């Protein structure tokens, strides 16, 4: 189970970093999307925190 948890944590970190990079690019191109992107990043972080809190079991998505 530790291997699964480590892979989920690594995937979550990669997801958050990629979302932040995408948001920086879009904020420079289209400033009107800033609120949408901030909410998107917050939702992604909350989902990852929920997954880490509840645990991911057999591919189920508890959040």
DSSP reduced 3-state for 45: helix
Please indicate, yes or no, whether the overall pTM of this predicted structure exceeds 0.85.
no
Residue 1 is predicted with a pLDDT of 58
DSSP state of 33: G
Report the pLDDT averaged over residues 8-32. 79
Instruction: Give the residue extent of every domain in the chain.
Output: 2-54
27: which residues sit within 8 A by CB, 6+ positions away? 33, 34, 37
Report the pLDDT averaged over residues 36-54. 79
Check if the beta carbon of residue 16 is closer than 8 Å to that of residue 44. Answer: yes
């Amino acid at each position: 189970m530790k291997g699964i948890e480590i892979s989920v944590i690594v995937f979550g970190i990669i997801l958050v970093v990629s979302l932040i990079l995408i948001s920086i690019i879009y904020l420079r191109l289209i400033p009107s999307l800033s609120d949408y992107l901030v909410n998107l990043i917050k939702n992604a972080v909350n989902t990852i925190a929920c997954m880490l809190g509840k645990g991911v079991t057999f591919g189920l998505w508890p959040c």
